């Protein structure tokens, strides 16, 4: 059995993790700024709701891929700012390769059989 086989259940989660890491590669951000940045950069394609964003942020933080730091205080609302860690950068790089691989294999499967044989021939 191929241990590197595609895990369809984990796919959406990994994609969202990549989106968050990709957004943070551009610099530290608050949670809502990450959501807005992802939406803007994807032309409105990816919309991160609370239900998607916060579990991902907390999971990535627990895994050491991002770190959250509280700023402000003294009667003012404290705000949490997330930044990418070195581990997160490695994961982002590997994740980007993984996404490319998935897309390549997917398009290969989706190609019409005659196109595929044409390519081979």
Give the residue, chosen from 58, 101, 108, 116, that forms a contact with other proteins under the rule CB under 8 A.
Answer: 58
Give the residue, chosen from 30, 46, 89, 99, that forms a contact with other proteins under the rule CB under 8 A.
Answer: 30
Rg (alpha carbons) of the chain, rounded to whole number: 18
Binding of residue 84 to other proteins (CB under 8 A): no
Binding of residue 49 to other proteins (CB under 8 A): yes
Binding of residue 64 to other proteins (CB under 8 A): no
DSSP assignment of 65-112: SEEEEEE--TTSPPEEEEEE-HHHHHHHHHHHHHHHHHHHHHHHHHS-
CA angle centred on 73, ends 68 and 76, rounded to 5°: 115
Which spans of this chain sit near other proteins (rule: CB under 8 A)?
30-33, 35-36, 47, 49-52, 54-55, 58-59, 62, 75-80
């Amino acid at each position: 059995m191929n241990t590197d086989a595609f895990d369809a259940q984990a796919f959406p989660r990994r994609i969202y993790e990549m989106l968050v890491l990709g957004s943070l590669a551009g610099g530290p951000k608050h949670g809502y700024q990450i959501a807005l940045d992802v939406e803007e950069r994807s032309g409105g394609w990816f919309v991160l709701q609370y239900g998607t964003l916060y579990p991902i942020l907390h999971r990535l933080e627990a895994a050491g891929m991002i770190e959250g730091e509280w700023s402000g205080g003294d009667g003012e609302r404290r705000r949490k700012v997330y930044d990418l860690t070195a581990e997160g950068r490695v994961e982002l790089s590997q994740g980007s390769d993984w996404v490319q691989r998935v897309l390549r294999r997917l398009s290969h499967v989706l190609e019409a059989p005659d196109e595929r044989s044409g390519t081979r021939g």
